[in-house]
Amino acid sequence: MNTIEPLAYRIRPRTLEEYVGQEHILGKDKLLYRTIKADRLSSIILFGPPGCGKTSLAKVISETTKYKFYKINAVTAGVADIKKVIEETKNFMLNPAGKSILFIDEIHRFNKLQQDALLPYVENGTIILIGATTENPYFEVNKALISRSIVIKLEPLTEENIFTILKNALKRKDGLGEYNIKIEDETLKKLAIIANGDVRTALNGLEIAVLTTNMDKDGFIHITDEVIKNSIQDKKAIFDKNGESHYDNISAFIKSMRGSDPDAAIFYLARAIEGGEDPMFLARRITICASEDVGMANPNALVVANAAMQAVHQIGMPEARILLAEAAVYVATSKKSNASYMAINKAIEDVKTKDTGEIPMHIRNAPIEKMKELGYSEGYLYPHDFPGHYVDQQYLPDKMLGTKYYIKDENIE
């Protein structure tokens, strides 16, 4: 057993039968399973959170394919590395098949020049590309590469998946099978929960627990809940403030406030805070929601949200979490109306696309007396001179008469 290599590396699956999880793409009746088994793979891009099995899947493919398999990491590799792979692939003496599989880990780190260097060889089939990324490839990867690849989304591993992998790690000789370990299934399950879909985190935690715990008098290394707690970080949050999960989480946060679900709003707010999101960014989103989605149904929501935003700026974290929570709950529990939002959108669309006519002369400004002789401000009725401080007169241009932008709904008093 090579104990220098991390446990997660040592016990990577070598066959599809050893691979655990991702049944939605690797079930025996699924396309990816069949193409790997038949060694008929076309270019694919795998994306999903850390520790969900992207690199392990590439390892399985490398063990099953008849084609030469190359692996590079986008962080350290450059165009020269790509050219070397191409040259060896096209060298009949080195590679009679005339094509190879190139696995690029963290492909989103490749710049445009590096991605463009790959394109012609992916296009003509010389290279079968397997890209792995934690970022949404539709945002980060060359569109031409995307169009020539199958994009496959891997999900976080389930607690059952991780528990199975941990049990296997304890049995395998290249894992921890050579140690005399006693650990309850319930403790392993707790470790699987803490890992939150990332098997690498779970395996690292288990290995640290085993290597840092002394053997007891009975000849066993006893791994308890307390040992696990001291060997792994707190529950891992699947949140990256710079990645796709940032957009997904903020979208869920806004839609929960809009949908009047304060519990969901608080949950996504907590995820954002724990993920290191800028509290001022969160405060701005609450303020926007107060205007866009609550609007005239409760104008005070904008006052509360704006006050919270100012207070967050002045106070900062960790206390700012309380201000954000109060404002988010207030917005979520307020009646909703998007009448103002719809009104301004419709008016802007008309201004951009229609001949909207001229401003009526009687409501134009006349700062110079001579302008009144040209009709500016002539005939304007001052509303406060009339009962109820209202008088019926034309404000819209002639061409826009009868247009309704602001339409009160049942939530507006």
Task: Convert the pLDDT of each residue in 231-265 to its tens digit.
Answer: 886 555 555 555 557 788 899 999 999 999 999 99
State yes or no: cis peptide before 318, omega within 30 of 0: yes
C-alpha separations of 77 from 67, 95, 120, 391 in Å: 21, 22, 19, 74
pLDDT of res. 185: 92
Say which residues have a Cβ less than 8 Å from residue 284's Cβ, sequence separation at least 6. Answer: 309
* Residue ranges of the chain whose pLDDT lies below 50: none
For the chain, which domains are there? Answer: 22-153 (3.40.50.300), 159-229 (1.10.8.60), 244-333 (1.20.272.10), 342-400 (1.10.3710.10)
pTM above 0.75, yes or no: no
118 phi, psi to nearest 5 deg: -80, -35
Do 338 and 292 meet the contact criterion of CB atoms below 8 Å apart? yes
Nearest C-alpha neighbor of 400 from the set 358, 343, 363: 358
Q: Which residues on neighbouring strands pair with residue 70, listed in sequence order?
A: 102
Burial class (CB in 10 A: 0-12, 13-18, 19+), 60: buried
pLDDT tens profile 55-85: 899 888 888 888 888 998 888 888 888 888 8
C-alpha separations of 345 from 292, 349, 352, 356, 359 in Å: 11, 6, 11, 15, 20
